[in-house]
Structure 1
Amino acid sequence: MSRFWRSLLLVLTLALFVSACGTADEPKAVPLTKGTPAPDFTLETMSGQTVKLSDLRGQKVFLNFWASWCPPCKEEMPDLQAMSRKYEDKVKLYGVNITGDDTLERAEMFILEQKLTFPQLLDREGKVQKAYNAITVPISVTIDEQGKIVEYRLGQLTQEQMEHMFQALL
């Protein structure tokens, strides 16, 4: 192997290592399995209110990561809207728009078209998306009163799967 190729390989390896390290203020991605602590975050809603996950301790939480360009997200939203009304006094439901991979304008249009009334959080920098391993969307996560993961599901949920996730929190 020539000196050029060895040098290039070294530079690329170092670049990959540095990019994987992240910064100290970013939530770190950890395997999200049942019983593990849910990564804390602070995000703003569409109306500018701040929501910090750790402030919701003592409450049951359902997070749904979505994007406006995602067909399965669009298909499951009517059922999520129905669940938000059915469980509004028992479970805090938040949509998490991966705004770093979307646009605010498209997200706003999506919310209007879907007639969503439950709070929508904006992950503008993608830090929460990364912490929750939300590489693809939709992803749904339920969190118990102690801030621990109850369930983590990739992909579009059926109404029955949603019902199961909400019931598992109660």
Structure 2
Amino acid sequence: MSRRWRSLLLLLSLTLFLAACGTGQEPKTVPLKPGQLAPDFTLTTMSGQSVTLSELRGQKVFLNFWASWCPPCKQEMPDLQAMSRQYEDQVLLYGVNITADDTLERAEMFVLEQKLTFPQLVDAQGKVQKAYNVITVPVSVTIDEEGKIVENRIGQLSKQQMEHMFQALLK
């Protein structure tokens, strides 16, 4: 294969990778809107506990969709871990691994490497990913006590953006 073709193939591969892993620049789909009822789901945590969103009514919820192969996901996890501790008595924070586009083994290794203590949900069939219009990761969604979406952000969050999302949820 010629050098030119290898360069073209490398460029194409990089473009596809970046398209799959959000940069926060441009959404790839129409996100769920604030005030809209959050799609209900039941998923299992990596530790085997079943979680149904509608059963969390009356509580504030923060969902973060991620994959082990996503660099922006990895970069924002330390801040999410800190937020989970800071707001643990006020907001339920769940990671949602898009396992349909990942593997459970890599996801579990990611959780161990990142030293994550907040619950991680496994979306093995991609049904929740689809219901929330998650085309690229990371995606963060906050849900109020009535089960309505407060905010839906596509792409990596800074610590300040996370803080804003938590504070907006607590108002």
Deviation at 1:143, TM superposition (A): 0.1
State the 4+ residue runs in structure 1 displaced beyond 2 angstroms.
none
Note the alpha carbon deviations across 1:64-85, whole angstroms, 9 max, x for none. Answer: 0000000000000000000000
Distance, in Å, in 1 between the alignment partners of 2:135 and 2:32 is: 13
The structure having more radius of gyration, on CA atoms, is 1
Q: What's the counterpart of residue 32 of structure 1?
A: 32
User: Do the aligned residues in 2 keep the contact of 1:30 with 1:132 (CA within 8 Å)?
Assistant: no
Distance, in Å, in 2 between the alignment partners of 1:38 and 1:86 is: 24
Structure 1 residues 70, 112: closer, same or farther in 2, change over 3 A? same
Q: Identical aligned pairs, as a percentage?
A: 82
Distance, in Å, in 1 between the alignment partners of 2:135 and 2:169 is: 25
Q: What's the counterpart of residue 83 of structure 2?
A: 83
Note the alpha carbon deviations across 1:29-48, whole angstroms, 9 max, x for none. Answer: 98510100000000000011
Q: What's the TM-score once normalised by structure 2's chain length?
A: 0.82
Q: How many residues align?
A: 142
Distance, in Å, in 2 between the alignment partners of 1:96 and 1:130 is: 12
Query: Structure 1 residue 139 and structure 2 residue 163: aligned?
Result: no
Describe how 1:112-127 pairs up with structure 2 within 5 A. Answer: 112-127=112-127
User: Do the aligned residues in 1 keep the contact of 2:100 with 2:125 (CA within 8 Å)?
Assistant: yes
The 3-state SS of whatever aligns with 1:150 is: strand
Q: What's the TM-score once normalised by structure 1's chain length?
A: 0.82
Could you tell me which amino acid in structure 2 is paired with residue 169 of structure 1? L
